[in-house]
Every structure is written in structure tokens, then in C-alpha cells.
């Protein structure tokens, strides 16, 4: 697996991205590699035995996640309704079927271990404000996609993120600016440290 862990550096040193770096915001537009790295990031956290609940509408993203987490496939469950969740709430990774917003909201309210889980939401531009407002109450959070197009961007901006990864410069004001380095290399600001991600593809 082409892991973000192996490609995240500060100078010549590798940085191991973990739950301490959360909450995280990943901003990118179409064809800017942000989708690819978002899924690698959550896959690596899953392989570090982090618990998570995942919401994304993009089928290819889910496909990539399954491919990258084959080793722990038995710990991953796609839920279609609350009955599925109630029966399998101990599963390490819970994926919401078909970007079902209602089911996602019910799930985060029902799960007793929700504060132990990473809430991963990809394609934040398509989900409603209520869902996003509920999600940003938690600190183990990863929000991914174009922040400018997000319905809850004002509230998201008020949240203190420990990590911000920019694949381009958003129109709204963030604490950091996008800095182009070379093709397939991007900066990630995490706890006042500047690391960089370098693709090996």
C-alpha cells in the first residue's frame, strides 16, 4: 500500500500521522489528489487500529479504502440500517451505506463509543448543514473536500484544527496558505509543525 505514513516528512524524518493530529481538515478540488490522500489517511489510521465511522458518497473512494485495508476486512462493516448497527456496534470500522445522512446522524447518537471513533466525512460539499454541525462537535474528526462549497463552512472555520492539508488555496480565510512545492508534493500543517507529503506514484 502506498501509505501516507511513509511519505509524510519533516526534513528527512518521517512523521507518523495518528489520532493526536486530529481534528483534521483536507481541502481540495476535483483532480487535485486530495481524494486519494484522504482515503489513504483514514486507511492508515484504521490499520493502526483506530475506530472510525465513515461517510462518503464516492464509490471509488470506498473501493480504494477496501483495497488498502484488506488485512482487517473482518473488522469493517457497511451498515444499511440501524438494525445492522445495533447488531454490530463493536465493529472497528463502520461505513454508512449510500451516503445515508439520516442513518449517519442516528448512528453517531446511538454509538456509546462515538468519542473514541474517528468521524470521517468525505465530500463535505454535498452533505447538509445539520449533519456537519453535529459532526464538528467531536474532536476525532476528518473533513475532506472543497471547503468553499460546504454549507457549514462558517461554523467549520470556528473549529480549531490540529492538522490542515491544502491541495489548493481556498477562497475563505484559513490560518495557513497553500504553498506549491513540486508536482505531487504538498504541505500539511500539524500542531504548528510543517510537514510535507510526497507521492511515490
Residues whose CB falls within 8 Å of the CB of residue 125, separated by 6 or more in sequence, listed in order: 145, 146, 149, 150, 151
pLDDT in tens, 143-152: 999 999 999 9
Return the HEC string of 51-71. EEEEECCCHHHHHHHHHHCHH
With CA atoms as reference, report the closest residue to 103 among 55, 151, 140, 63.
Answer: 55
Q: Is 57 exposed, middle or buried (0-12, 13-18, 19+ CB in 10 A)?
A: middle
> What CATH topology corresponds to 20-198?
Rossmann fold (3.40.50)
Q: Report the distance separating Cα 29 and Cα 19, nearest Å.
A: 25
Q: Report the distance separating Cα 19 and Cα 118, nearest Å.
A: 8
Q: Report the distance separating Cα 57 and Cα 98, nearest Å.
A: 6
pLDDT in tens, 181-192: 776 777 788 766
pLDDT in tens, 116-175: 999 999 999 999 999 999 999 999 999 999 999 999 999 999 999 999 999 899 999 888
Of 14-23, 29-38, 126-135, 184-193, give the lowest mean pLDDT range: 184-193
* Residue 170 pLDDT: 94
Amino acid at each position: 500500500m502506498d501509505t501516507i505514513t511513509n511519505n509524510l516528512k519533516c526534513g528527512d524524518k518521517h512523521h507518523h500521522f495518528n489520532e493526536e493530529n486530529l481534528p483534521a481538515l483536507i481541502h481540495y478540488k476535483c483532480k487535485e489528489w486530495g481524494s486519494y490522500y484522504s482515503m489513504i489517511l483514514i486507511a492508515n489510521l484504521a490499520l493502526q487500529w483506530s475506530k472510525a465511522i465513515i461517510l462518503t458518497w464516492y464509490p471509488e473512494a470506498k473501493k480504494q479504502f477496501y483495497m488498502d485495508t484488506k488485512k482487517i476486512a473482518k473488522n469493517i462493516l457497511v451498515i444499511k440500517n440501524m438494525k445492522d448497527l445495533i447488531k454490530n456496534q463493536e465493529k472497528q470500522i463502520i461505513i454508512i451505506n449510500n451516503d445515508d445522512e439520516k442513518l449517519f446522524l442516528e448512528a453517531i447518537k446511538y454509538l456509546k463509543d462515538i468519542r473514541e471513533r474517528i468521524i470521517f466525512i468525505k465530500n463535505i460539499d454535498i452533505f447538509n448543514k445539520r449533519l456537519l454541525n453535529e459532526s464538528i462537535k467531536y474532536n476525532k474528526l476528518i473533513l475532506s473536500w472543497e471547503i468553499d462549497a460546504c454549507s457549514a463552512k462558517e461554523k467549520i472555520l470556528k473549529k480549531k484544527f490540529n492538522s490542515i492539508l491544502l491541495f489548493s488555496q481556498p477562497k475563505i480565510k484559513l490560518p495557513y496558505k497553500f504553498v506549491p512545492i513540486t508536482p505531487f508534493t504538498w504541505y500539511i500543517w500539524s500542531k504548528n509543525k510543517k510537514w510535507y507529503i510526497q507521492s511515490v506514484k
